[in-house]
Amino acid sequence: MEVSGRHIVVTGGAGGIGRALIRRLSEEGARALVVADRDLAGAQAMAGEVGGLAVELDAGRESSVRALIDEATAAHGPIDVFISNAGVPGALGGPEAADEAWDEAWRVNVMAHVWAARALLPQMLERGEGYLINTASAAGLLTQVSSLVYSVTKHAAVSLAEWLSIEYADSGVRVSCICPQGVRTPMLELAMEEPVGAAALASGGLIEPEDVADSLIEGMRDERMLILPHENVAGFMAFKGSDPERWLKGMRRLVRNARAADSNSA
Ligand code: NAD
């Protein structure tokens, strides 16, 4: 799908990757852009820059996702492309993370995509056209060693996109899932504070939010389900698929080495 002339909503559009997506979609000639974020002032600043509509959103509540869709539709007509990009890092560590952290990550990283699909699919199926795009992560394909919460919820987000893509492709509804590794945003800064996460992210190479926007435009043009801004992720997936035990050994080694280097430097 070409962006030109389209009505596009981006959640988490006030910062990081979302902001770069909005700027690029504007350059590509989107007809109407909606910047939705829990940071209303940030959304307003971004919307002001591109002549878009700012909407305050809590992506972790279905009523708020529905209200966003209603407001965007009332302002600009049917939504052509909905980019469910808002995400939260969850908590570092494993199953000991508090239920509150699990709950927030399930809601924002997974259910927000479900709620958007639930609200939009009936009208998209009726029109025989529409595009649902979710930002998941390479953590949803390969595992994020520093955070079980993030890894599990991003795996669920990838699975959701795959399911939708299989089910609805023949009805004219396109689905894409963006799966970057490390991207220089405020969320990454947090992950880089933890030595194991920092080692894993750095090993994949860090890119800029604008690089993710470039990949999105290419991926949309090809209507590709899996959009991988980091070239090496496809190779890591192939390796994991071809020899999962060897891949796990490599991941364990990466964790051990990062912990040893951290304790030596302390
Ligand atoms: P970020 O923290 O820089 O920006 C996230 C934006 O989402 C912020 O503007 C924030 O206000 C908004 N947001 C957070 N929770 C919200 C909620 N409940 N309701 C509405 N808005 C909310 O993060 P980012 O790095 O730009 O992340 C964007 C997406 O990319 C996320 O889904 C993230 O998981 C994913 N991602 C990021 C990286 C990375 O390295 N930065 C890598 C892979 C995937």
Residue 209 included in any domain:
yes
In the structure, what pLDDT confidence band is assigned to residue 262 with cuts at 50, 70 and 90? confident
- What is the average pLDDT score of the chain? 95
Span 204-243, pLDDT tens digits: 889 999 999 999 999 999 999 999 999 999 999 999 999 9
State percent of the chain over pLDDT 90: 86
Residue 251 included in any domain:
no
Q: Please indicate whether residue 16 or residue 196 has the higher confidence score (pLDDT).
A: 16
Residue 1 included in any domain:
no
Give the atom of ligand 1 at the shortest distance from the alpha carbon of 15: 9
Name all residues whose Cβ lies below 6 A of ligand 1: 11-12, 14-18, 37-39, 42, 57-60, 85-88, 108, 135, 137, 180, 182-183, 185-188
Q: How many domains does the chain have?
A: 1
In which order are the strands placed within the sheet that holds 130-135? 53-56, 32-37, 7-11, 81-84, 130-135, 173-178, 226-227
Print the domain residue range for 210: 7-235
Report the pLDDT averaged over residues 97-114: 98
pLDDT > 80? residue 55:
yes
pTM, 2 dp: 0.97
Residue 131 included in any domain:
yes
- CATH code at 133? 3.40.50.720
Residue 84 included in any domain:
yes
